Amino acid sequence: MFQTPIQTGTKLFIRANELSGALGISPSTIYRWRKAGLLPEPLSLGPRVVGWRASDIHNWLNNI
């Protein structure tokens, strides 16, 4: 289903554009999945920036 594995190395957070690119889906799909509760809850990284813990995304991918 997904195009490429997410390589995070020492990266702690994954932003929506990185996640959509890694999964081969559009950013709007990320926002739809987020609204529908299909993704882990993101964290606020700044006033207008959210991201997911890399560990949360890896766990989510292993459980879908």
- Residue 7's pLDDT is 55
Q: Which residue has the higher pLDDT, 11 or 27?
A: 27
Largest separation between any pair of C-alpha atoms in the chain: 33
Q: Is the pLDDT of residue 61 over 70?
A: yes
Asked if the structure places residue 17 within a domain, the reply is yes
Asked if the structure places residue 58 within a domain, the reply is no
Asked if the structure places residue 21 within a domain, the reply is yes
Tell me how far apart the terminal alpha carbons of the chain are, to the nearest angstrom.
Answer: 11
Range of the domain at 38: 13-53
Enter the tokens of residue 14: 């994954």
Asked if the structure places residue 27 within a domain, the reply is yes
What pLDDT, in 10s, does the model give residues 22-58? 999 999 999 999 999 999 999 999 999 999 999 999 9
Asked if the structure places residue 7 within a domain, the reply is no
Asked if the structure places residue 25 within a domain, the reply is yes
**52 and 40 Cβ atoms separated by less than 8 Å:** yes
Domain total in the chain: 1
Asked if the structure places residue 4 within a domain, the reply is no
